Structure 1
Amino acid sequence: MTAEFQILLLTAASLGFVHTILGPDHYLPFVAISKARDWSVGKTIWWTFICGTGHVLSSVIIGLVGIAIGSQLEKLVLIEEFRDGLAAWGLIAFGLIYALWGMRYWVSNKSGDLKQNNQGKKITPWVLFIIFILGPCEVLIPVLMYPAANASTGALISVSLVFGITTLLTMMGAVFIMIYGLRYVSLKPLEKYSHTIAGIVIFMSGLAIEVLGL
């Protein structure tokens, strides 16, 4: 293993960790949904893994196809920027809709309308999954995949795996730590607003991507 390859692998691991930690959309939506829907830790981590896998694989596939057909890097960067905007607005729209649904859910609870309470419970994680597929790993293709492809196919596969695994572990680790940390915070007065709060958190996560570029 050459020194350059070692540096590339270390860069892949570092960027996988940093880009995940700096992007609150990678973990806050799962924590918020978990608290609102009273998911178990296992279920929350499972959906984090599923959405994270879709998030990483979508960029890996685009990068591999682009490299295979000899596409210019600039074109792939534009595609990833477009996908970034789609994901951001997806989170913003979903968060807003979910917050409004949460308010209606609370009103229906007060009025005893049980039918209203069961609407939308199964669709939420799949909406997140679709949004995460749309969301790119911005640094993966230009900073890691294209330089690795110039070295060898093995280097390309290795950096993609290291980046992907680090991203997934960081997402699941952050979600796990936050869920357990919240167990020591009394949120009982806010429980009746949990769905609305979850929607606002998701909305703010999307806004952070769109406005702050996180």
Structure 2
Amino acid sequence: MDPLIFSLSAAGIAVLHTALGPDHYLPFAALGAARRWTIARTLTITAICGVGHVCASLVLAALALGAGSVAMRVTGITSVRGDIAAWLMIAFGVAYAIYGLKFIVRERHVHSHAHAHADGTEHEHGHHHHASHVHPHVSIEKTAARKQSVVAVGWALFIIFLFGPCEPLIPLVMAPASQGAWVTVLMVVSVFAIATIGTMLAIVWALASGLARTPALRAGAYVHSAAGATVAACGAAMLLGL
């Protein structure tokens, strides 16, 4: 049993599995753009979720190394995990899209008005028809709220990816493990994890970089609802096996 062949197979399968599954990268790029995360923050959250995604599947792969009946149960568990992850992604996407509606409604009730100063400079402030006449300023409370929202969204994605199965990993591990080739098992697991997370990061980086160069796509009031719809669509694609 050649460890190199198994490792190359693991790398190729991991890259294809990740690239062909938009649920591995679109949610991060869409939510990162909507919430105006830096590319570094988006990639950090992607990496953490990728590690959880792979590690959870490793636990199942370890269980699958038992008797055949256990392996069959693990196959069933993997299928159930996939459905749970898909429904969680749909639910989160729909909830986030609904949350985004408030920005669309708010924009319809806002207009800008100009102020001239003694030195001749001018600037504009947003004004809400149903609020007191105050000028917006970033406060400590708002900064704290933004940090909390990053944590909340990050945790939501992490939990979803814990349930998301890495189906190809289990047979890749079981084949060499059944013959006691533990060095090969270690190589396969390492290569598969690096290739999976690396592919996620590469695609998310490309998408996030592209969106960062198109501010108009990030600035619209609809961007949150669009991000939620994207996440929900990824979940639906998972259910359909796409």
TM-score (norm 2): 0.79
Distance 1:189 1:148 in 2: 47
2:174 corresponds to which of 146, 164, 168? 146
Distance 1:154 1:35 in 2: 41
SS at match of 1:72: helix
How far is 1:74 from its partner? Answer: 1.9
- Residue 35 of structure 1 corresponds to which residue in structure 2? 33
> CA-to-partner distance for each residue in 1:132-173, whole Å, 9 max, x for gaps?
00101011102x010021231221121011101100000000
Please state if 1:205 is matched with 2:234: yes
Flag the structure with larger Rg: 2
Aligned residues: 209
Distance 1:105 1:81 in 2: 37
Distance 1:99 1:53 in 2: 27
Distance 2:84 2:219 in 1: 31
- Residue 103 of structure 1 corresponds to which residue in structure 2? 101
Distance 1:161 1:50 in 2: 16
Distance 1:189 1:81 in 2: 36
- Residue 211 of structure 2 corresponds to which residue in structure 1? 182
Cα separation, partners in 2 of 1:187 and 1:157, compared to 1, 3 Å: same
Could you tell me which runs of 5 or more consecutive residues in structure 1 were left unpaired when the two chains were aligned: none
- Residue 53 of structure 1 corresponds to which residue in structure 2? 51
- Residue 22 of structure 1 corresponds to which residue in structure 2? 20
Contact 1:97 1:199 in 2 (8 A): yes
How far is 1:108 from its partner? Answer: 4.2
Distance 1:72 1:11 in 2: 25
Distance 1:189 1:9 in 2: 40
Distance 1:32 1:161 in 2: 29
Distance 2:26 2:217 in 1: 19
- Residue 124 of structure 2 corresponds to which residue in structure 1? none
Distance 2:64 2:51 in 1: 20
TM-score (norm 1): 0.88
Contact 1:148 1:159 in 2 (8 A): no
Distance 2:220 2:28 in 1: 16
Cα separation, partners in 2 of 1:188 and 1:178, compared to 1, 3 Å: closer
Could you tell me which runs of 5 or more consecutive residues in structure 2 were left unpaired when the two chains were aligned: 111-127
Structure 1 vs Structure 2: percent identity of aligned residues?
Answer: 36
Please state if 1:128 is matched with 2:157: yes
- Amino acid of the residue matched to residue 177 of structure 2? A
SS at match of 1:187: helix
Contact 2:104 2:222 in 1 (8 A): yes
Contact 2:103 2:221 in 1 (8 A): no
> CA-to-partner distance for each residue in 1:28-56, whole Å, 9 max, x for gaps?
00001110110001100000000000000
Distance 1:45 1:68 in 2: 36
Distance 1:14 1:34 in 2: 28
How far is 1:186 from its partner? Answer: 5.4
Contact 2:3 2:187 in 1 (8 A): no
Q: Please, what is the CA RMSD of the aligned residues?
A: 2.4
Please state if 1:8 is matched with 2:6: yes
Distance 1:63 1:193 in 2: 42
Q: How does 1:150-169 map to 2 (within 5 A)?
A: 150-151=178-179, 152-169=181-198
- Which of the two has greater strand per residue? 2
- Which of the two has greater helix per residue? 1
